[in-house]
Structure 1
Amino acid sequence: MSTKVRTADTRARILTAACEVIADIGFEKIRMRMVAERAGVSTALLHYHFDTREKLFTEAMTHSFANTAVDVERDAESAPAAVILARIVRNLLPSDPQLHQDWKLWQELWVRALRDETTRVFAVDLYAQLHSWVSEAVRRGIATGEFTPTDVDGLSTLVLSLCDGYGIRLMLRDPTITLDMVLAAVWRHVSTALGLPDAVPTD
């Protein structure tokens, strides 16, 4: 294994550990030592890659987002556009244990962004990436004739807003809603705008 590959592997292991620790106890309570122990590396090596907690946090968020994007984009060129869009909606919600962890990271990000300008700018940029994620999938479906033309930016903003609102309630284990109810509610708006069947597509 080359040095470059080993370095990339070490960074990925550290970032995965950081995501887990931040989700477990919250950013304000973490210490670099805790992340190093979870990743199985020395504190010195951790500091070599990430010299501050803030840098570690932002890169952990980016790492989490990138991993989710990889899952969504698998077979994107051959799968129906509706399947890809439904996959994106599921990944915008705490719909499995990994995404539940990711949502804890997002909640930490929101709190920090209210108090720290650098984090606020970073959070706004991540939302712009999420918006592009949804809008590009919608535009792809319109271009192939699978979707009815619509206000792409407006629909993308609506999808993100609905997923945020419902996602918080799912994280709170609100007994009045379920994941299936949420998916159906979000997809109802999507299907109406894009001329699709009401049923949420499955992979």
Structure 2
Amino acid sequence: MTTILAPAVRGFDPLGVSGRSLPVQAALLLFGTGVLALASQISVPMVPVPITMQTFAITMIGVLYGWRLGALTVLAWLGEAMMGLPVLAGGSGGLAPFVGPTAGYLVSFPIIAALAGYLAEKGWTGERVVKSFLAHLSANILCLAIGGAWLGTLIGAEKGLALGVTPFILGAVLKSALAAALLLALARRQTSKLDL
């Protein structure tokens, strides 16, 4: 059974999302918002934008859920934040983060979930570890580009680049490598069935 939230056919679908019913996909969405809220709390404080595990969780949800459900999950999580729930970095929520220095990054989040999920559906994941790494890195770089551009409008392009992009490039590379490694392990686990 398929729904509009997940593609009918996916080569890499370790959670079996494409065959799940709408209520199960809704439960996955709620679970995903919880994962994103937890990942947001894993943070290295920096000014004006902290380093968090948000983008790691976002791209992983895009890959594991598919681009449609992944993006919808991220939008639901952002909706929770807008309602004031403390689900963003540092336990913040409300409308202020959506107009402050982090707004560009927040806007990019559903886009990067969709991008990572779309590339995974095209085979850029699992056993194709280099493509998997590049899919996550592309999503992370897009996040930095959108977030840095917004920050640049607030504090100037040079400062926006220096404070909102450059310090996060190494983290983007490391998170992308971690994601590719985990997805490779998942793919290998999925293909190696135990013969009892």
Above 0.5 in TM-score?
no
Structure holding more helix per residue = 1
Under a length normalisation based on structure 1, what TM-score does the superposition of the two structures give? 0.43
